[in-house]
Each structure stands twice: as structure tokens, then as C-alpha cells.
């Protein structure tokens, strides 16, 4: 980990150095130039100080989370502006070399070309866009909740469930919250959807179960006619914390399970439940976390399906969408709808409905946000309720998904 921070610090300083070239080209006041350098150094020093005292068992404090956000903002400012200045330096160098070759022996064209103010202006303007966006994401974006509504049609949906409404939330990450009023507002917003059932698809905490203790009362207010159901995400197992013994780690997981029960959540651990209406039923299936790559693989889809029939209409809760791609789509049993989260949409991207949907996380996950359909089966990848790491969101806002199931009618 220390090597990673050293590398990050080097990248930060290189970006800050080249970004400073743009600043000093436009600003000649030495006091302002000194202030620019001092701010960058203070930001770097602060993040180093925060991580020096970091204890994984306690998770990230609010001060540390804020420090990470500010560091990322200034790193981006330096990196973007510095990249423009570096490109200018390359062009200046080759231009100078070319002039020396052309004017060889003439004694002209020997002076290295000066920086152009216009390029410095472009560098700082371009850098200010992500810089301001990251600061906005910390101030406003992380609690900018959006309700996204979907209507999905199925040929074999039981008639009694035509119009059945599911509200999905995911990735609460309670250890990151710093505004109780905003979180209560979001919980009330979930209840205002008046859906038939509420499904939570994992990652209740960042590292340890105790992060949820201050929020138990808030999330206990979640209510739906058919109940509130949940599954575990990769962060819920305590794998990212340091434990004195394996027994301590196991006790932490049991504490989180107990908290969910006390809040009225029905936690599905590779098992299923039936939701019934007017004598008809659909199967709600929940698996523990299963993620491709290095993520925990505790999920057992076959065991979770063992309590239902092959021809039942099935809704699967599985935290990581890579599970859908790896095991669910081609499973012998048709799973009509899978609900996942995990990606957070990387908490950064650009979404304009009908025009563009992009985030860097798309290069890691094929299914990373919203509704997808493969082989007659659907998945919704929720963008997440909370946040982790960077204490904000830019362009990819916290999401409450409302999915209405419809019986597909034959067309004449």
C-alpha cells in the first residue's frame, strides 16, 4: 500500500509542477504563485497525515474522506492542466529542433520558444471543469438522489402480479454518510414510491458492522406491503478490515446479520422466498456475494434455487453484476429478472438519457448501470444509494430504482 501512495504522490507532484507552468505564465505575482504551490503541498501533506493514522478496522473517518476528495480534485487540476502544458513543451521542443535544422549555420532560430498565454488559458479552463465538478460532487452530488422508473414486460408473469412494483436500493455504505437529514430524506423518498416490496442488493457497510449502528433507526423506517429483503455484498463480510482473529471477523458478520433482522430486513443467504398474491406466486431468490476476478465468491445459485420450481417466475438478488454474466444468463433455469449493484457507476460519468451513457467503469464491467436484456432475461444494475472512497458523485447520481412488472399482452 505504501508503494501505491508513493507512486500516487509522484504523479500528483508531476501534475502539480506542470500545472504550475500554466499558472505562472498567466499570473506574475510571486505571492499568488507561492500560494498556489503551498496549497498543493498542503493538500498532499494532509492526505499523507490522514493515511498515516488510518486504521482499517475503523474505516474512513469524515475528515479522511474529505481529504481524499480534495486530493483527487487537486490531482485532477494538476494532471489536466499539466498534460496540456506537457503537450505544449513537446511541440515547443520539436519546433525548436526543426528551426535549428532549417536555420543551421545562419545563427538564427536558436532561442527556445516561449510559452503562449493562450495555451495556458486553455489548460486552466480545461482543468477547472473536472476540478469544479469534483468539488460539486462532494458538496451536492453525493446526496442528489434520483428515482429511476422502469416498466418490464414478461410473457409468463402471473396475472396477479401484473403491475407489481419493486423498489430496489443498493450499496448503502453507511460508514461514509455525514448528513443524517439527507439520508432520512432518501429513506422517505423510498417509502414514497409505495412499492409492493423493497429489495436491498448488498454493501450495507464499508468495513465493519458497527458503521450501521447510528443508522439502524433511519433504515428501520423502510416499509413495503410484502416486506423488505436483502442480500450481502462484498464489503459486508469484513474482508477489507484488519481482525485480531477469525472469530472476531465472524462475529462482525453475525452482528451485521442481526442488525438487518432488527431493522426488519429479511436477509436471504443463498435461499428463496415466495411472494404471493391472489393465490399466485413469484419466487424471490437471494444469493450471497459472487464476483468475478478477486471478489468474494460465497454465492451458490443452485442452492438458492433449490427451494423453487423450474417454471416459477424468478427475481434474483445478486450484488455483483458479473455474476449475471458468468452464471445466471446461461443457467439451465430461466431467471426472469436479476437485481444487482456494486459498480456505483464509479460515481463519475456522463449520462444524458437517449444520448450518452458513459463512465470509466464500463471498461471493467459490461453491465454497469441500468437495464440490460440478454436471452430474454433482464438485469438492473443500480447505481447505488451511498458512496465510498471519493466522497461524492459526478454525473452518476445516487439511485432509487422502481421497477414495474407487466404481463405482456398478445398483439393482434
What pLDDT, on a 0 to 100 scale, did the predictor assign at position 106?
61
What pLDDT is attached to residue 250?
Answer: 96
Inter-CA distances, 108 with 98, 100, 115, 203, Å: 12, 8, 19, 66
User: Where, residue-wise, is CATH 3.60.21.10 in the chain?
Assistant: 141-407
Query: Residue 381's beta-bridge partner residues?
Result: 340, 370
Question: What pLDDT is recorded for position 54?
Answer: 67
What pLDDT score does 202 carry?
96
- The pLDDT value given to residue 256: 98
- Output the nine-digit C-alpha cell for 407: 404481463
Q: Mind listing the pLDDT tens digit for each residue in 273-319?
A: 999 999 999 999 999 999 998 899 999 999 999 999 999 999 999 99
How far CA 36 is from CA of 16, 42, 87, 133, 333, in Å, comes to 9, 10, 22, 20, 61
Q: Quickly name the fold that domain 141-407 has.
A: Purple Acid Phosphatase; chain A, domain 2 (3.60.21)
Contacts of 279 (CB under 8 A, 6+ apart): 160
Q: What pLDDT does residue 18 have?
A: 86
pLDDT by residue for the chain (412 residues), tens only, comes to: 577 778 888 889 999 998 899 999 999 999 999 999 999 999 999 888 887 766 665 666 677 888 889 999 999 999 999 999 999 888 888 888 888 787 766 655 567 778 889 999 999 999 999 999 999 999 999 999 999 999 999 999 999 999 999 999 999 999 999 999 999 999 999 999 999 999 999 999 999 999 999 999 999 999 999 999 999 999 999 999 889 899 999 999 999 999 999 999 999 999 999 999 999 999 999 999 999 988 999 999 999 999 999 999 999 999 999 999 999 999 999 999 999 999 999 999 999 888 899 999 999 999 999 999 999 999 999 999 999 989 999 999 999 999 999 998 766 5
pLDDT single digits (tens) 200-243 = 999 999 999 999 999 999 999 999 999 999 999 999 999 998 89
Instruction: Write down the pLDDT at residue 93.
Output: 86
Amino acid at each position: 500500500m505504501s508503494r501505491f501512495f508513493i507512486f500516487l504522490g509522484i504523479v500528483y507532484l508531476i501534475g502539480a509542477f506542470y500545472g504550475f507552468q500554466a499558472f505562472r505564465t498567466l499570473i506574475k505575482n510571486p505571492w499568488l504563485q507561492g500560494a498556489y504551490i503551498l496549497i498543493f503541498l498542503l493538500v498532499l501533506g494532509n492526505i499523507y497525515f490522514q493515511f498515516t493514522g488510518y486504521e482499517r478496522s475503523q474505516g474512513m473517518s469524515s475528515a479522511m474522506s474529505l481529504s481524499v476528495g480534495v486530493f483527487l480534485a487537486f490531482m485532477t487540476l494538476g494532471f489536466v492542466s499539466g498534460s496540456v502544458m506537457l503537450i505544449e513543451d513537446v511541440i515547443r521542443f520539436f519546433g525548436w529542433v526543426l528551426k535549428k535544422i532549417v536555420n543551421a549555420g545562419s545563427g538564427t532560430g536558436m532561442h527556445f520558444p516561449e510559452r503562449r498565454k493562450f495555451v495556458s488559458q486553455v489548460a486552466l479552463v480545461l482543468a477547472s471543469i473536472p476540478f469544479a465538478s469534483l468539488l460539486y460532487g462532494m458538496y451536492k452530488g453525493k446526496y442528489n438522489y434520483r428515482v429511476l422508473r422502469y416498466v418490464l414486460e414478461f410473457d409468463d408473469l402471473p396475472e396477479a402480479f401484473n403491475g407489481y412494483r419493486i423498489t430496489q436500493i443498493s450499496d448503502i455504505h453507511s460508514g461514509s454518510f455525514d448528513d443524517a437529514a439527507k439520508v432520512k430524506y432518501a429513506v422517505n423518498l423510498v417509502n414514497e414510491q409505495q412499492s409492493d416490496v423493497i429489495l436491498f442488493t448488498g454493501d450495507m457497510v464499508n468495513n465493519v458492522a458497527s458503521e450501521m449502528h447510528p443508522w439502524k433507526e433511519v433504515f428501520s423506517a423502510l416499509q413495503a406491503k410484502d416486506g423488505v429483503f436483502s442480500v450481502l455484498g462484498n464489503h459486508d463480510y469484513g474482508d477489507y478490515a484488519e481482525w485480531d482473529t477469525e472469530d472476531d471477523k465472524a462475529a462482525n458478520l453475525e452482528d451485521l446479520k442481526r442488525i438487518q433482522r432488527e431493522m426488519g430486513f429479511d436477509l436471504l443467504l443463498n435461499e428463496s422466498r415466495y411472494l404471493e398474491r391472489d393465490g399466485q406466486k413469484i419466487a424471490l431468490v437471494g444469493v450471497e456475494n459472487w464476483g468475478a476476478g478477486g471478489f468474494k465468491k460465497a454465492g451458490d445459485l443452485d442452492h438458492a434455487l433449490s427451494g423453487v420450481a423450474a417454471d416459477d417466475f424468478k427475481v434474483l438478488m445478486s450484488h455483483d453484476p458479473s455474476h449475471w454474466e458468468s452464471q445466471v444468463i446461461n443457467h439451465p433455469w430461466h431467471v426472469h429478472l436479476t437485481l444487482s449493484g456494486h459498480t456505483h457507476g464509479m460515481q463519475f460519468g456522463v449520462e444524458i438519457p437517449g444520448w450518452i451513457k458513459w463512465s470509466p467503469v464500463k471498461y471493467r464491467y459490461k453491465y454497469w448501470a441500468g437495464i440490460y436484456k440478454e436471452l430474454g432475461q433482464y438485469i438492473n444494475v443500480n447505481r447505488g444509494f451511498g458512496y465510498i472512497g471519493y466522497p461524492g458523485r459526478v454525473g452518476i447520481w445516487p439511485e432509487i430504482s422502481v421497477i414495474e412488472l407487466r404481463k405482456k399482452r398478445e398483439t393482434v
